[in-house]
Structures are given as structure tokens and as C-alpha cells.
Amino acid sequence: MAGLPQRVVITEVGLRDGLQNESATVPTADKESLARRLAGTGLPRLEVGAFVRPDLVPQMADSGELLGRIGDLSSTVELCAIAPNVRGAERAAGTDVSEVRLFLSASEGHSQSNTGRTVAEGIAAVLAAADVVRAAGKRVSVGVATAFVCPFEGNIDPRVLAGIVGQITQDGIDRIGLADTIGKAHPGQVRDALHAVRDASPEATIGLHLHDTYGTGLANAWVAMEEGVNIFDSSIGGVGGCPFAPGAAGNVATEDLVFMCHAAGVETGVDLEAVNTVAQTLPALVGHPIESRQSRLRAKAVAEDV
């Protein structure tokens, strides 16, 4: 379709963002099995864990062990993990990941809730951690949480967001992810934010991390593609959320994003049927149904055939 990128690169974040908000901790062996199944679907990138405090996010306490088990996958898919500070970056950089994803918030309220830091302190922490990652020979990217809407402060001024991104890119970090942390952004906000960020940091490569709380996730992805964005995070089955952002629900489902892209003629390299098959194994892992549109359609088809 005219105006859309020819190809989209999807980072599957179900192993991290998907599982971190679950009340039950998924055993490491089950995470390994899920990672291997996801790697077999054609997904090019897996975000597999987070090097954060285990007392705050116990579901991620085994990230180092998991990466030790699946390091062989790095020959076929890119593995990445997130870290909030220098200590986390040191741990992540010592594994088989090709990229360490650092993060900060665009709003003071969420920054305090998520990391106990001001935004300025968050920027300083990210820049210090980036030095550690680059010294280890790993690629670094930075995710900006609450890039569009904050659960504590409301809408984020695109100029404020652009200023934060500008401070990061001045340090030579050119891979930036903008996150709709609570899934409340609408397409107009996404478009305005992308224009502001690109005007301030034209050299940056911008990706999006979208949640689907209010049902606008795919619409926001479409607008972003119209604006030339071709890098997206998504989560198998649409599971996930942020434990430090009230109201945050699941991510845009990988299978729904892949379906939309393929229907529009945008390549992903992902086998949709294989992704849907993997998604059907999630309820047994997390203990509840999944809510992706593809899953609901399949469940309805099965029920009608019975």
C-alpha cells in the first residue's frame, strides 16, 4: 500500500513485558520452551528478560539463567534484554544478548513510580549505562516510557518528549523506542510526537512500543507506519503490562500486528500460522485466557465447528 514501509521489524516482548505483569511466575524451563517456539516462527528479535531488582519484579529474576539456556538461539534470532541502570547493564552485557535496551520515562510521575528517579536523573543513568553497554561491544537502545500519556500527569507535550530524546541522541544513541505505556494514546498524538521527535533528532531511528488498553494499538501502529516507522514491539497473545503504571493493560498482540501488516502488503518475515499456534499455548502458562483478536476469532471458529 502506498505510504507504508515495505517491511516491518518486530521485536517479540512476550517473554519480558508479557510475563512481568503476571501474578504467577512462569518456570524458567517453560520460558525456555516458549522462547524456542517463538524463534521458530520467523520473528527476528526476542526481548527475553530484564536485569532489574528481583524483589520488585520477581518474574524476571531468572533472566540471566534463561539467557544461559537459550544462548544458542543467538545464531538465528537477535536476543535482547532491558536494564534500568549501570549494574543492570553490566549483568545484561555479560550475556548472549546483541542489544541492551535501557529505559527512562518522559514524565516525572512515572519516573518516580518506576525507578525512584527524576527524569533528569533517569537521563543521566541511561547515559552512564550506555557507556557500559558499548564498552562490552553490545548495541544500545533507549526506550522512553509514557511517551504520549502518563497515568499520573496526563498527556505529554511532544516538545518535552523531543527534548528528552534530543539529550539522549546527543550522546550518540540513535535507536529510540517510544512507549505508549498505558495504551491511552490516539493516532493524532502518535503522529504529533513523531513529527516533534524527528524535527529535533532527525538522525534517530525510531521504533514504537504500543499497548492496547483502549483498543487503539493497531491504529497507532498504522499511523506510525504511514510516518515511516518500521520497528515495533509486540507481545504474543497480547499479554503484558507495567506493574508501575496504574491502568496499563496488555501489549499489541504479535499475531494481530502481523495479520494487519500482511493484509496491507507489508512484509514481516513472520509465519502468522506459527505465531497463532504458539499463542494457543499461553493460557496454560499464565493461567488465564488470552485476548488477542486472532485468538478470539479462532476460539469462535472452534466453538462453531463443535
Annotated active-site positions, please? Answer: 242
The Cα–Cα gap between 83 and 69 comes to 19
The Cα–Cα gap between 233 and 240 comes to 12
Residue 298: how many other CB atoms lie within 10 Å? 16
The Cα–Cα gap between 240 and 50 comes to 14
**Spacing of C-alpha 231 from chain mean position:** 10
